[in-house]
Structures are given as C-alpha cells and as structure tokens.
Amino acid sequence: MKKFWVLIFVAVMALTLSACSKEGKETSNTTDFKVAVIHIGDPADGAGYTYAHDLGIVKMQEELGLSDEQIIRKNNVNDTDAVAITTAMEECIEEGADIIFGTSWGYMDTMEQLAAEHSEVIFSHCSGYKNNGSNMNNYFGRIYQARYLSGIAAGLKTQSNMIGYVAAMPIDNSEVTGGINAFALGVESVNPDAKVYVKVTNTWFDPTLEGQAAEALLDMGCDVITQHGDTTAPQMAAQARGVWGVGYNSDMTKDAPEAHLTAPIWNWGAYYTKATKEAMEGNWSNDNYFGGMDDGLIDLSPLSKNVAEGTEEAIEAARQRILDGYKIFEGELYDNQGNLVCAEGEALADADITGAMNWYYKTVEVK
C-alpha cells in the first residue's frame, strides 16, 4: 500500500513538473519574441511620421512588457531603395524578428517578396494594398476623419480664405488625395468662401522640398498651411511668415508654437499592441486592419492657443457627428471639374476613399 501511494506521489509530481515546464516554455517564448520596425526617418527627430509610429512601438512595448532587447529598429531606410529595404529586413530576420512592421508605402513590394521566402515571419505593412493571404497584411485607418476636423480649425482661422496644402503625392495617390478632400470638406463646413491650394512634392520625406512648397503657397497669399508630409518644415515656414499651420502625424505645437493650430494624429499603439499580442499568442490573423476614431487609432492633437474663437465647440460637435455615423464623404459632392462624385443619399465606401479617389473636391486647386 505504501508503495502504491509513493507511485501516486511520483505521478503527481511529474504532472506538476510538466505543467511548470510548459508554463516556463511559454514565458521563455514571450521573452524571446522579437518585434522589428522599419522606419523611413529617425524617431529622434521628435515630430512627424516616424516619430508617431515609434510612439506606437513604445506604447506596445510598455503594454506587453517587452524588453528593449526584444525591439529591433531600422531607421532612415529609404523607401525608394529596394536594396536598402531588403538589407534592413533581412537583418531583422537574422536578428530573430518574429513580426516586422514596415511603416512606409515603398516597403510594400519588398515585404511581399520576403514574406514569400520567410513563412515563419509575420510581415505587416502600413498603407498600400497587398496581402498575401498568409503571413503579410496591411494596416491603416480613417485619417480622413481627423483631416476633416482639422479643416474646421483652418477654415475658422483663415482671413485670406486661401489655405495651402503641401502634398506628398499627386492626385492618383488616393491616400493623399482623400486627406486633401476631407480637409477641404471640413474647411467648407465652417467657411464656404475658402479654397484649398495644393502643392505636390512627389516625395514622402524631404524637409527641403516640403519647406519650399510651403514657401510657394505662402507667396500666393495662403495664411494657413497644412500638409501631408513627414516633417515639420511646413509648420516652421508658416511660423517664420507670421501665419498659421495645421500639422500632421504628431502634435507640432512645440516646433512652431506661434503658428500651429492642431494636427490629425495617429495613435499607432492601438494597432501595434493588438497585432503583437495576437502574434505572441499564436492567433494573429492576416486580415487587413482599418481603424478609426472609434477604436482610438485616429485623433486630433490638442488645440493650441492660436485657434479662432469657437473652434473647440465646432470641432467637438463634428467629432460627435462622426462617432454617431457621419461618413464625411456622403451626400451630393462634386469634384473641381464639375463632375458628380457622390449622389444625394449615398456615401463613399472606405475602399473608394483609400483606393479609388483620383479627383479633387470642388474647392481644391493644384498649383
């Protein structure tokens, strides 16, 4: 009988040790899990596109309790240089990355190629449209919601009724064009006499060109400058000329305190935390992600002291309308060529806004 209980005790201990071993293995896997991010710029710049993305990486790291050794960063990777992109991503794989986030449009094709070669690694690409159905997806959001709100701030502030927009890409890039049109609709909602003038740089990241485009718009008489670009250069140009600015990606008040009104911003941590947690738990899905104000991905930076009276009230009313279901691109809308692009009682789908918007709203002109 004594021998029987000894055998029972040994069996129980074996099960206990087995359970401890399994738990320890899971903890070890969590500790070993590595997240890589490929940046087009340097987060040390302290503002703009790359900075906003890296704030999201930091937020994810804090939320999930990852160590610094579990985060791999590759900064200043030119998204027009396929060799540089490939090298950066292959280095991430060699360093043990389990999931790689590529934060610029130009990384898409290379990510697709490497995803086919490395099925054990998850590739998640910001913007774009490619999804390989297995280990590569895309993530983006309804930034046009915050663009619309920022247009309200600009429309109430302008005195010349000329608002300049420094745009990274021309009309055939729906991401940029959708932002311009949403901004113009926001402006029009509070100031139907104002127009939006667009200057295209044809680059996602170039402080010099962004500054020059802003200067050209200022020379025209624009007294509010907004942007779809990665740097603070347009805001700095606005401040130097004693006028106003609406930034992008992050709050740029500290960079141009006498000019900046507000900025559409991304809280990328909402997605990075979700995707990384799912990957760590083994239930990541390759479904594309498209978030908005309702899930915290999109927002507007705090209004500065420079905004016009009544701006806060107007923006909050519009914000609530959006949260209640207002689509922004809805009702009777015309482009700047006089064509009907949305009929009364209808609304454009997200796929049309982000992938098929190759027209400018009626109050937009390109310079």
User: Quick one: 291 and 321 in the same domain?
Assistant: no
Residue 242 and residue 154 share a domain:
yes
What is d(CA 330, CA 341) in angstroms, rounded to the nearest whole number?
Answer: 10
The predicted structure's pLDDT at residue 31: 83
Lowest mean pLDDT among 22-36, 162-176, 245-259: 22-36
Residue 89 tokens read as 């991503």
Whether 153 and 273 share a structural domain? no
Mean pLDDT, the chain, rounded, equals 91
Give the range among 3-17, 116-130, 214-228 with minimum mean pLDDT: 3-17
Give the C-alpha separation, 173 to 340, whole Å.
Answer: 20
Is residue 152 scored above 60 in pLDDT?
yes
Q: Residue 172: pLDDT above 70?
A: yes
Long-range contacts of 216-219 (CB under 8 A, 24+ apart): 216/367, 217/164, 217/165, 217/166, 217/367, 218/164, 218/243
In this structure, are 45 and 92 located in the same domain? yes
| Total number of domains in the chain | 2
Residues 213 and 281 reside in one and the same domain: no
Reported as a single tens digit per residue, the pLDDT across 3-23 is 333 333 333 333 333 333 223
The parent domain of residue 184 ranges over 143-263+301-366
Residue 212 Rama label (left phi>0; alpha psi -120 to 50; beta): alpha
* Residues near 339 by beta carbon (within 8 Å), at least 6 away in sequence: 359
DSSP readout, 207-238? HHHHHHHHHHHHHHT-SEEEEESSSSHHHHHH
Task: Find how far residue 4's CA is from the centre of its chain.
Answer: 65
The answer to which of 91-105, 260-274, 348-362 has the lowest mean pLDDT is 348-362
Structure-block tokens of residue 145: 């919601």
Q: Residue-wise over 84-117: b if at least 16 C-beta within 10 A, else e?
A: bbbebbeebbeeebbbbbbbbbbbbebbbbbbee
pLDDT in tens, 253-278: 999 999 999 999 999 999 999 999 99
Report the share of the chain in percent with pLDDT over 90. Answer: 85
On the question of pLDDT at 351 being above 90, the answer is: no
- Which one, of 265, 278, 271, 273, lies nearest residue 295 by Cα? 271
Query: Is the pLDDT assigned to residue 166 strictly greater than 60?
Result: yes
Q: pTM for the complete prediction?
A: 0.84
SS3 content of the chain, % helix, strand, coil (to 5): 45, 20, 35
Q: For residue 278, is it within any domain?
A: yes
Question: Are 208 and 348 part of one and the same domain?
Answer: yes
Residue at 345 is within a domain: yes
Expressed in angstroms, the distance from the first to the final Cα of the chain is 95
- Rounded CA-CA distance 222/195 in Å is 10
CA 275 – CA 293 distance, rounded (Å): 18
Question: Are both 250 and 276 inside the same structural domain?
Answer: no
Instruction: Return the CATH number at 354.
Output: 3.40.50.2300
Whether 220 and 150 map to the same domain: the answer is yes
pLDDT: which is higher, 294 or 48: 294
Please give the single-letter amino acid code of residue 212: Q
Please, which pLDDT band fits residue 205 given cuts at 50, 70 and 90? confident
Average pLDDT, integer, range 54-75:
97
Give the DSSP H/E element, type plus range, for residue 334. Answer: strand 333-334
In a shared domain, residues 216 and 357: yes
CA distances from 136 to 86, 96, 111, 123 (A): 16, 17, 8, 5
- 132 shares a domain with 65: yes
Identify whether residues 218 and 352 lie together within a single domain. Answer: yes
279 and 153 in a common domain: no
Q: What is the pLDDT of residue 128?
A: 81
* DSSP state letter for 308: P
